[in-house]
A = this chain, B = another copy of it.
Amino acid sequence: MKVITNIQDLQASIQQVKNSGSSIGFVPTMGYLHEGHLTLAEEAGKNNDTVVMSIFVNPLQFGPNEDFDRYPRDVERDAELARNVGVDILFIPEVVDMYDGKQSVTLSVIERVEVLCGRKREGHFDGVVTVLTKLFHLIQPTRAYFGLKDAQQIAVVEGLVRDYFFPVEIVRVPTVREEDGLAKSSRNVYLSKEERREAPSLYQSLIEAKNRIDAGERDPDSIISMISMNVQENTSGKIDYVEAYSFPELAELSRLQGEIIIALAVQFQQARLIDNIIISVEPEEDSNV
């Protein structure tokens, strides 16, 4: 595995890979790797000749009150994990190189963003699409891998790629979970022991929602109320949101139908957890016919 920190070195390596006709699977990360990231890399390895992973804690996607400075970093451990999982090129650029001097052109996300986490994280997805545009151009991936845990990110990235015809296939990879259902996340380390015991309720509530939809429920408000009550009863966390939308358009629904996402965010003492399920819902039978 090559570890590259310099942009010119990366461009030279990528050019070599492209010239050889190899496909490139790309896994963008902010480091502090967990099984979720490693699953993305494994998926990338299955369908591509070369796997490139980036580690870059992107300041532009953190808000003024968010955890850029205390976002966990452990590059040596990350490098070992990446090597073990078959990453060929590990790209760890410097902030000053990725944002070199005065930027003259900005990217803004204007759809799929005023919902879920985007509503409360002004500018977050602008930062995401900005850094991904840079990384896509530097790495020129055949396929890029994103976890469905951050489903809004996938929705936004699919919008970016669609709007601008990026020559890359976005691969949606299912959320990796602990045995008790808790979605893996770098932020789980901030949970207290008690909170860690409570946290699986988030996913359990989503599964219960799916069961009720399977049984015929089509009213979004009823599903959202059930989840909210469930989380309130079973955790000490404070609900940021529980919402349901079409996916990946993230448009509001009067009835649950088609490809939908049900997503939630819960603030614990030191960690804000998110989770979601994406399900395909049959249209309801019209009882009047």
Asked if A159 and B110 sit within 8 Å, CB to CB, the answer is no
Is A103 at the interface (CB under 8 A from chain B)?
yes
Instruction: From B102, B106, B164, give the contact of A134 (CB < 8 A).
Output: B164
How many copies make up the complex? 2
Query: Quick one: CB contact mask for A7-26 with B, threshold 8 Å, 1 for yes?
Result: 10001000000010100000
Is A108 at the interface (CB under 8 A from chain B)?
yes
Is A185 at the interface (CB under 8 A from chain B)?
no
Query: Quick one: CB contact mask for A141-171 with B, threshold 8 Å, 1 for yes?
Result: 0000000000000001001101111110000
Chain B residues, Cβ within 8 Å of A108 = 105-106, 108
Instruction: From B104, B109, B140, B167, give the contact of A105 (CB < 8 A).
Output: B109
* Complex: chain B residue closest to A135, CB-CB: B165
- Check A112/B107 contact, CB under 8 A, given A164-B137, A165-B134: no
Asked if B111 and A138 sit within 8 Å, CB to CB, the answer is no
Chain B residues, Cβ within 8 Å of A166 = 137
Asked if A105 and B159 sit within 8 Å, CB to CB, the answer is yes
Is A204 at the interface (CB under 8 A from chain B)?
no
Is A129 at the interface (CB under 8 A from chain B)?
yes
Instruction: From B104, B129, B140, give the contact of A160 (CB < 8 A).
Output: B104
Bound complex: CA of A103 vs CA of B60, how far in Å?
22
Most B C-beta atoms less than 10 A away, residue of A111, A133, A164:
A164
- Check A129/B156 contact, CB under 8 A, given A137-B167, A164-B137, A165-B7: no
* Complex: chain B residue closest to A156, CB-CB: B104
Chain B residues, Cβ within 8 Å of A109 = 104-105
Asked if B137 and A103 sit within 8 Å, CB to CB, the answer is no
Query: Quick one: CB contact mask for A108-129 with B, threshold 8 Å, 1 for yes?
Result: 1111110000000000000001
* Complex: chain B residue closest to A97, CB-CB: B165
Asked if A163 and B112 sit within 8 Å, CB to CB, the answer is no
Chain B residues, Cβ within 8 Å of A19 = 21
Chain B residues, Cβ within 8 Å of A112 = 104
Bound complex: CA of A166 vs CA of B138, how far in Å?
7
Bound complex: CA of A143 vs CA of B253, how far in Å?
46
22 residue pairs A–B, Cβ–Cβ below 8 Å: A7-B165, A11-B165, A19-B21, A102-B111, A104-B109, A104-B111, A104-B112, A105-B107, A105-B108, A105-B109, A105-B111, A105-B129, A105-B160, A105-B163, A106-B107, A106-B110, A108-B108, A133-B164, A134-B164, A137-B164, A137-B165, A137-B167
